[in-house]
Structure 1
């Protein structure tokens, strides 16, 4: 199986569903994500477990939703990176694959090895991020949201074109 075959297997969110999100300015989308991540990773941020991001910019690209987020760490808070800041690490993938990661239906190693989620830039920083994602236990923190994310994953897996 080629890399292209592996990538093609990921269901894709229909373009019609991405249109409303595209109307929201990127600064507002990023601000919302930053608030969610700071709340979600509060214990790890407080304990310094995300210090590897200090002074670095991580770009997250969601291909099929046409979304891009640039994040950094300032003290003990995740923040939006300044516009035009150089990217040290990029993680790109489709909505479905990010949902697989978030719901723990696939482990990070499998998603990255099969290039369903693609890393670019600093290999060392990418390894820190992957290991962090692999180690953090989110199930108890996201409660009912996990059920919604699992439902979205099932729906996209069934009806997403791929």
Structure 2
């Protein structure tokens, strides 16, 4: 007899022809690009010290289906890429689709974690700080046209992903 699987824990994955080239880019490049983007996006919060909980702590974001890893820390009030020789204090793993659901606010972090679509490793306390920070930030106005692109990508992967 076959055991029933929990469909809630399954997410559409990025189509391989799109994901494969992303995995060829080194972690350092992904991390540097993401740090630059997030420094702009979270500039007011960085100036107010709202991300100080990341000071000297390493956060790893692993996008499993795209084979992307982003390693970040906070130094001198700015997010910076971190080399892979430093152990992470927190890891968050999920698919492109699930991170897009989170970023576009189509799904909240609690639901994604509860349904095991996003997986947390390391410091639970640090994970709660990150989650609470993201819950409290209003990004819709800051993302502008990028929000429309992200919503389109979410729909595309939801429809055509494996």
Match of 1:112 in 2: 113
- For the Cα contact (< 8 Å) 1:3–1:114, is it kept in 2? no
> Structure 1: how far apart are the matches of 2:109 and 2:127?
11
Match of 1:96 in 2: 97
Write the mapping of 1:114-133 to structure 2, written as runs, cut at 5 A: 114-133=115-134
- The 3-state SS of whatever aligns with 1:70 is strand
- For the Cα contact (< 8 Å) 1:55–1:73, is it kept in 2? yes
> Structure 2: how far apart are the matches of 1:160 and 1:142?
24
Instruction: State how many pairs are aligned.
Output: 160
- The 3-state SS of whatever aligns with 1:64 is helix
> Structure 2: how far apart are the matches of 1:134 and 1:123?
16
> Structure 2: how far apart are the matches of 1:157 and 1:72?
31
> Structure 2: how far apart are the matches of 1:34 and 1:4?
35
5+ residue gaps, structure 2, are none
Task: Give the drift of 1:25.
Answer: 2.5
5+ residue gaps, structure 1, are none
- For the Cα contact (< 8 Å) 2:15–2:157, is it kept in 1? no
- For the Cα contact (< 8 Å) 1:60–1:69, is it kept in 2? yes
After superposition, the CA RMSD in angstroms is 1.6
Task: Give the drift of 1:3.
Answer: 7.7
| Structure 1 residue ranges (4+ consecutive) displaced by more than 3 angstroms after TM superposition | 1-5
